[in-house]
Amino acid sequence: MLSTRPKKFAVSVTYVTARNDHIITAYRCHGYTYLRGGTIESILAELMGRSTGISMGKGGSMHMFAPSFYGGNGIVGAQVPLGAGVAFSQKYLNNPSVTFALYGDGASNQGQVFEAFNMAKLWDLPCVFVCENNKYGMGTSDKRSSASTEYFKRGDYIPGIKVNGMDVLSVYRACQYAKEWTTSGKGPLVMEISTYRYGGHSMSDPGTTYRTREEIQHMRSTSDPINGLKQRLIDNGMATEADLKAIDKECRKVVDEALKKAEAAPEPPLSEFHTQIYQPGTEPPVVRGREPNEVYHY
């Protein structure tokens, strides 16, 4: 759903985790939001700034949340220490569950990532640090931005595993292993998901200035996770090509209907712009910036 990172991990981790397990990631979180309980309509409405959006149209693409899902975060890498904090609460409250904290190869060199590693291992927190390595950051390859691209080894004192991120079943099994490891009291784990993005990093990135179109097409034709899973289902007699086409057609119909409802929803009223800033009952008498041309005296 409108994401440049293939979401095999989102599907796999949803099957592995329970509702008391937690997931936190960065932007491009639309697939996670849906799988953790958001509706297609609410996600599309949020993208268009409609009042029926999952954040009432006030957050947009980078601010989507669902039960036990702490959404997309706009600051690169900031979700990693936040994820360690969620895992700390799980251990503190004796909650036998796991937190998956996801970040990209572009965020892997952030200092806060290594600080989170240190605290997580120091306290043996039930946190899986997942680096979605799609080989390219904003306008450059991982080899030009990272002295070492073996991201699963970055934890140093934290064990790490590397997974074929283009194979949904491999990711599923790896998520099972990671949950068993962390919830058994062994402490954190670093997991590198080796994947690939077909499009640009953002609207301003065509995605072809630092790699060839032939490279992209090669990956699509040989390693695409959806086509690979389809072929596996057909080869093992679990579905026919006609079955899969029917599923695809039904999915498109459901999304189209949700899109129409989202487009028809109104924008949030101006009175909502300054709500939900504070915990209910704790809002101060004056919230600065609420009225135009305000003058403050100190």
Domains and CATH numbers, the chain: 6-27+73-236 (3.40.50.970)
Nearest to 87 by CA among 152, 12, 158: 158
Res. 6: pLDDT tops 50: no
Residue 279: pLDDT band with limits 50, 70, 90? confident
pLDDT at 97: 95
- The predicted-structure confidence for 9-24, as pLDDT tens digits, reads as follows 788 888 898 889 999 9
| Mean pLDDT calculated for residue range 154-166 | 96
- The predicted-structure confidence for 221-263, as pLDDT tens digits, reads as follows 999 999 999 999 999 999 999 999 999 999 999 999 999 999 9
Res. 217: pLDDT tops 60: yes
Q: What three-state secondary structure class fits 111?
A: helix
- The predicted-structure confidence for 91-149, as pLDDT tens digits, reads as follows 999 999 999 999 999 999 999 999 999 999 999 999 999 999 999 988 889 999 999 99
- Residues 82/76, Cβ–Cβ less than 8 Å: no
In this prediction the pTM is: 0.90
pLDDT at 3: 44
Strand ordering across the sheet containing 22-24 = 22-24, 99-104, 127-133, 189-194, 160-164
Residue 269: pLDDT band with limits 50, 70, 90? very high
Res. 289: pLDDT tops 80: no
CA–CA distance, 117 with 201 (Å, rounded to integer): 26
pLDDT at 2: 41
pLDDT at 1: 38
Residue 207: pLDDT band with limits 50, 70, 90? confident
- Residues 167/225, Cβ–Cβ less than 8 Å: yes
Specify which residues 160 forms β-bridges with: 190
Res. 271: pLDDT tops 90: no
pLDDT at 290: 64
Residues in the chain: 298
CA–CA distance, 297 with 194 (Å, rounded to integer): 55
